[in-house]
């Protein structure tokens, strides 16, 4: 793969200086992602429609033969050392844990990885809901497999990334982030069935762009709300089983069944389930709309998703509502919605490519006039999953 973003020339010299090593390191990248639609559907066995973005984490790796893993983070400005034969889950989320956790997951699965000197850098905003953590995991895995001569299997590696987050870091998320970081293709969104793990690519029309609207508001409530929402979904499934015993997840529930079982649920559990049952249909509808270049319909689905997340799932915020309202009032915008767990983080808008510049200026200026947050607005293009880069260093 050629190195359009210049990772080889950015990371190569750093790796030589940080570790005093001559020659060219192996360089891998993995992308962040936006979820176009299908929010809070992954842990309900539903569909999601993410798109990898041209914001990436890059990892440069030199092999070592002594079982040590030394890693330097450009973002955090520090170097950490760990022994590959002495890795145990710390249930902590420091940057080194995403690197060490990936090595641990590879070793636990029997992959004979060698020691390494690594430099890690990236331009996926950290902790904004654009999945920088999965990008670190998958770029690390790709680089470690590269220097260890291990064949790259995207599905297995994505599942090992999820294992890292569950069992090493202690964050129990779905598979969407890691699957997108390995399986995505440039120019496409990716429909993922979170029950069967089947993926299909959806060509992204080239006359529109996705604009990320980063509210700058922290996602501090997101963790507890996430657990509360997923518990509510499990409760709804248990109660609805009295109407239809064979259902396993809200994916198996349609609107008819939900209405039949409505008396079994309290008002909150009903609203949560109502969001999920509606939202689970939207990724496939949006995939169809994008494939047919029906951008009005794609935008309508995004707006509908946002309303459902705000009114029924109750995970929006003042800032997310403000940004999406401002976005929708621009004539170049087809639709806008929060993306990720909610309570801060990012929204996305689907915008006519020709209007993107004016859209970004106008919407950001208006948002800034009403908040004092460190917000940012940028357009993204559909990128490919984790890969090794080759090319001539400068
Ligand atoms: P998200 O995945 O939504 O961005 P997370 O909280 O899951 O948010 O992951 C963010 C964490 O991932 C950061 O706090 C940091 O530990 C790690 N991380 C992300 N990007 C980098 C990077 N470029 N260098 C080092 N660590 C990173
Ligand atoms: Mg993450």
Give the CA-trace dihedral at 48, 54, 55, 56, to 10 degrees. Answer: 90
Alpha helices in the chain (DSSP H): 7-19, 95-108, 132-148, 154-163, 176-183, 222-240, 255-260, 267-279, 282-291, 295-311, 318-328, 356-370
Pocket test for ligand 1, best of 30, 92, 132, 218 (most atoms within 8 A of CB): 132
Indicate the pairing of strand 50-64 with strand 26-35: antiparallel
Of the pLDDT bands very low, low, confident and very high (cuts 50, 70, 90), residue 221 is low
Q: How far is CA 2 from CA 7, 27, 29, 91, 390, in A?
A: 10, 11, 11, 36, 6
For 208-380, which CATH superfamily applies? GHMP kinase, C-terminal domain (3.30.70.890)
175 three-state secondary structure? coil
Tell me, yes or no, if 177 is annotated catalytic.
Answer: yes
> Of 39, 11, 52, 88, which Cα lies nearest the Cα of 314?
39
Give the position, in ligand 1's atom list, of the atom nearest the Cα of 123: 23
Say if CB 190 and CB 53 are below 8 A apart: no
Rounded mean pLDDT of the chain?
95
Looking at residue 269, what is its pLDDT?
96
Looking at residue 390, what is its pLDDT?
81
**Cα separation, 394 vs 392, whole angstroms:** 7
**Cα separation, 61 vs 41, whole angstroms:** 36
Q: How many CB atoms lie within 10 A of CB 19?
A: 18
Looking at residue 394, what is its pLDDT?
39
Q: Give the pLDDT mean for 371-380.
A: 96
DSSP string over 105-132:
HHHHTT--PPEEEEEEEE-SPTTSSS-H
Looking at residue 393, what is its pLDDT?
44
Residues whose CB falls within 8 Å of the CB of residue 123, separated by 6 or more in sequence, listed in order:
55, 56
- Is the pLDDT at 5 greater than 90? The verdict is no
pLDDT in tens, 77-117: 999 999 999 999 999 999 999 999 999 999 999 999 999 99
pLDDT in tens, 6-63: 899 999 999 999 999 999 999 999 999 999 999 999 999 999 999 999 999 999 999 9
Pocket test for ligand 1, best of 30, 122, 127 (most atoms within 8 A of CB): 127
Where in the chain are the domains? 4-203+382-390, 208-380
Give the CA-trace dihedral at 194, 302, 54, 123, to 10 degrees. Answer: -90
Q: Give distance in angstroms: CA of 75 to centre of ligand 1.
A: 10
- Is the pLDDT at 292 greater than 50? The verdict is yes
Residue nearest to atom 20 of ligand 1 (CA): 132
Ligand with minimal distance to 341 CA: 1
| Residues with C-beta less than 6 Å from any ligand 1 atom | 57, 73, 75-76, 93-95, 98, 120-122, 124, 126-133, 136
Q: Give the pLDDT mean for 333-350.
A: 95
Looking at residue 226, what is its pLDDT?
83
CATH number of 4-203+382-390: 3.30.230.10
Pocket test for ligand 1, best of 53, 59, 95, 226 (most atoms within 8 A of CB): 95
Q: Annotated catalytic residue: which of 3, 177, 214, 383?
A: 177
Residue nearest to atom 5 of ligand 1 (CA): 127
Q: Give the pLDDT mean for 320-343.
A: 96
Instruction: Give the count of alpha carbons within 13 A of 325, CB side only.
Output: 11
Give percent of the chain with pLDDT exceeding 90: 91
Token pair for 347: 């929204």
pLDDT in tens, 136-183: 999 999 999 999 999 999 999 999 999 999 999 988 888 999 999 999
- Is the pLDDT at 380 greater than 60? The verdict is yes
């Amino acid at each position: 793969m050629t190195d359009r973003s210049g990772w080889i020339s950015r990371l190569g010299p750093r790796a030589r200086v940080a570790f005093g090593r001559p020659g060219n390191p192996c360089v891998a990248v993995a992308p962040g992602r936006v979820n176009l639609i299908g929010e809070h559907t992954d842990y309900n066995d539903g569909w999601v429609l993410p798109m990898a973005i041209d914001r990436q984490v890059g990892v440069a790796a030199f092999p070592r033969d002594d079982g040590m893993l030394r890693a330097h983070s450009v973002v955090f400005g520090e170097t950490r050392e760990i022994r590959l034969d002495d890795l145990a889950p710390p249930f902590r989320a420091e940057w080194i844990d995403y690197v060490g956790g990936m090595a641990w997951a590879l070793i636990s699965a029997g992959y004979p990885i060698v020691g390494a000197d690594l430099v890690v850098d990236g331009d996926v905003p950290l902790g904004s809901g654009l999945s920088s953590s999965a990008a670190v995991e998958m770029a690390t895995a790709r680089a470690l497999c590269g220097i260890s001569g291990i064949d790259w299997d995207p599905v297995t590696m994505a599942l090992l990334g999820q294992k890292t987050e569950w069992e090493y870091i202690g964050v129990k998320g779905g598979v969407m982030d890691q699957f997108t970081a390995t399986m995505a293709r440039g120019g496409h969104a990716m429909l993922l069935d979170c029950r069967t793990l089947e993926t299909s690519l959806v060509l992204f029309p080239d006359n529109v762009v996705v604009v990320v609207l980063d509210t700058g508001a922290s996602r501090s409530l997101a963790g507890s709300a996430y657990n509360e929402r997923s518990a509510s979904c499990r409760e709804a499934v248990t109660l609805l089983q009295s109407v239809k015993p064979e259902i396993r997840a809200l994916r198996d529930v349609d609107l008819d069944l939900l209405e039949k079982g409505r008396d079994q649920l309290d008002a909150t559990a009903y609203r949560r389930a109502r969001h999920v049952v509606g939202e689970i249909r939207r990724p496939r509808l949006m995939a169809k709309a994008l494939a047919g270049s029906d951008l009005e319909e794609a935008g309508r689905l995004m707006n509908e998703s946002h309303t459902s997340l705000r009114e029924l799932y109750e995970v929006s915020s003042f800032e997310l509502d403000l940004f999406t309202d401002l976005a929708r009032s621009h004539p170049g915008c087809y639709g806008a919605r929060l993306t990720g767990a909610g309570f801060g983080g990012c929204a996305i808008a689907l915008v006519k490519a020709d209007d993107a510049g004016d859209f970004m200026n106008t919407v950001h200026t208006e948002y800034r006039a009403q908040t004092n947050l460190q917000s940012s607005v940028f357009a993204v293009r559909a990128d490919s999953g984790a890969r090794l880069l080759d090319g001539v260093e400068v």
